[in-house]
Amino acid sequence: MSIQEEMQKRRTFAIISHPDAGKTTMTEKMLLFGNLIRSAGTVKGKKSGKFATSDWMEIEKQRGISVTSSVMNFPYKGYQVNILDTPGHEDFSEDTYRTLTAVDSVVMVIDGTKGIEAQTLKLFKVCKMRGIPIFTFINKMDREGRDPFSLMEEIEETLNIETYPMTWPAGMGKRFRGVFDRNNKEFVHFSGNEEETYIPYDELDQHPEITEDASFVEAQEEMELLEEAGDNFSMDKVLKGDQTPVFFGSALAPFGVETFFNTFIDMAPEPAPRKSTEGVVSPDHEEFSGFIFKIQANMNPQHRDRIAFVRVCSGKFERGMNVTLSRTGKSFKLAQSQQFVASSRGTVEEGYAGDIIGIYDPNVYRIGDTIVTGKSNFEYDELPQFPPELFKKVTAKNVMKSKQFKKGLEQLVQEGAIQLFKRYRFEDYIIGAVGELQYEVFEYRMKNEYNVDVELTSIGERIPRWLKEDQVDETLFDERNMLVQDREGNPLVLFKNDFSLRWFQDKNPDIELTDLFEVNQYNQTFE
């Protein structure tokens, strides 16, 4: 096949939601359809011993949460599917935001009993700002929950997006009888087990046991109302992010997921052109290019490996090819390349725009790096950087393990979940993170992957501001306004609070302070 034909087969999307809305369970069912797993686990599978495939870290299995984005690739009905399952917990939001730069569409899972929650709203705003098409799955219809019309109204008003129900539920909880599939003109009957019966509209009169049920009759009346007063479906609006197709079902039952997935995979967009420093790069451009949106250390703890996740943006990837790292101009041979189902992996020989490929990282790549072939030397748009909100001093409890301590610290920082600072002219290390859970995961991984017990001492919330090297006067700083260096050795100050920052600026008007996170437009999104 040509590069263009291969590209048109790709569907690359992320699943986003608030914690506990059923996102990882939904991912499991999709893997089931792709024949990648024989039975689906759940995130909270402690008693049964069955865990979600996409939750591959030991801490995820223990805590029953997803704390890292997982990547899964599989063929399905003539398409090549790349799913990115993201952590729902807000402490890991920057991992999710970076993942959203690597996808072409998003599946938003909403808990039908709760509606739109805080994390859903944040993630939606990022998708809207990036113009990513959004498909909505309202989950947990096998439980008593909110009225479907009120859920749709909340989506429209809160998220400022039109809705178009692709499926419509007949009842909920114990009264749940199935969904009307408006796209395929059939009723999908729910019998309470994993069997789904598909009945074309024109054959429904042969099933009085369904059509005479009160929930079915009520849903039919609601359907008539939707036909008359609802929005018209517009694929153009969907692709612009102005309309979201809405599906109803239960990921756990499972019910309605296959109907959703089949419709979604046909509608979801193929890889789109991307902005770079040399203009827009088309996905069917002959020369290979891609960018690194995630780095993960120790996916195989026995081999101490580091994998850089690359979103292929153009051309054809081939194992063993030589690429140039745009940031440094150095060339590398990509001899080890893999595709994944979470932590399981297989060697991949080739890839096209839309594919997510793992490449071995000999400690040279950074998040946001662009790799290219040929004479090109452009870089794709910068990935967002996020200001840490909490800061803690970190030391190894056993000074004899300083070598392992420094290695673990360096590798986990390169993954992007925490940021590293060092006291000016001292060997004191400080790490910054968005939330407390990141510190727990850091502590756990240092012990389990590097065999180092660490001690964390909080220095509270801080406001980071960079300054020029020639303006550093060490006598102006103390514990309250702490002078430190970032990973690159650039000086910055961790101010205690807004008052300290303003007081310092008033007293030292000649010192130029810079907020490096100001360049990140994502920050303005949530104000």
Instruction: Check whether 17 is labelled as a binding-site residue.
Output: yes
Instruction: For residue 231, count other CB atoms closer than 10 A to its CB.
Output: 14
- Match 């997921």 to its residue by tokens: 257
Beta strands in 18-161 (DSSP E): 70-76, 79-85, 105-111, 134-139
Is residue 285 a known part of a binding site?
Answer: no
DSSP 52: -
Cα 285 from chain centre? 26
DSSP 511: S
Residue 363, CB-side half-sphere exposure with 13 Å CA sphere: 7
141 annotated to bind ligand: yes
Of the candidates 480, 479, 483, which has an alpha carbon nearest to the alpha carbon of residue 511? Answer: 483
Measured CA to CA, the distance from residue 315 to residue 312 in angstroms comes to: 8
For strands 418-423 and 463-467, give the pairing. Answer: unpaired
DSSP tag of 474: G
If you count DSSP H runs as helices and E runs as strands, how many of each does the chain have, helices first?
14, 31
Residue owning tokens 């195989």: 300
SS3 labels along 280-294: EECCCCCCCEEEEEE
Tell me: is residue 249 an annotated ligand-binding position.
Answer: no
Q: Judge whether 189 is annotated as a binding position.
A: no
Cis peptide before 254 (omega within 30 of 0): yes
Alpha-carbon distance of 103 to 268, in angstroms, equals 11
**Residue 27 in 3-state DSSP?**
helix
User: Is 23 within any annotated ligand binding site?
Assistant: yes
Has 89 been labeled as part of a binding site?
yes
Q: Is 303 annotated as a binding residue?
A: no
Spatial contact of 348 and 371, defined as CB atoms under 8 Å apart: no
Could you tell me if 342 and 70 are in contact, meaning their C-beta atoms sit under 8 angstroms apart? Answer: yes
Say whether 18 counts as a known binding-site residue. Answer: yes
Token pair 């079902």: residue: 249
**CA–CA distance, 477 with 490 (Å, rounded to integer):** 16
DSSP 3-state assignment of 441? Answer: helix
The annotation status of 432 as a binding-site residue, yes or no, is: no
Is 86 annotated in some ligand binding site? yes
Distance CA(53)–CA(112), nearest Å, equals 24
139 annotated ligand-binding residue:
yes
Q: 462, 432 in Cβ contact below 8 A?
A: yes
433 is an annotated ligand-binding site residue? no
Please tell me whether 308 is known to bind a ligand: no
Is position 174 annotated in a ligand binding site? no
Could you list the residues known to form a binding site for GTP, using ranges.
17-24, 85-89, 139-142
Could you list the residues known to form a binding site, using ranges.
17-24, 85-89, 139-142
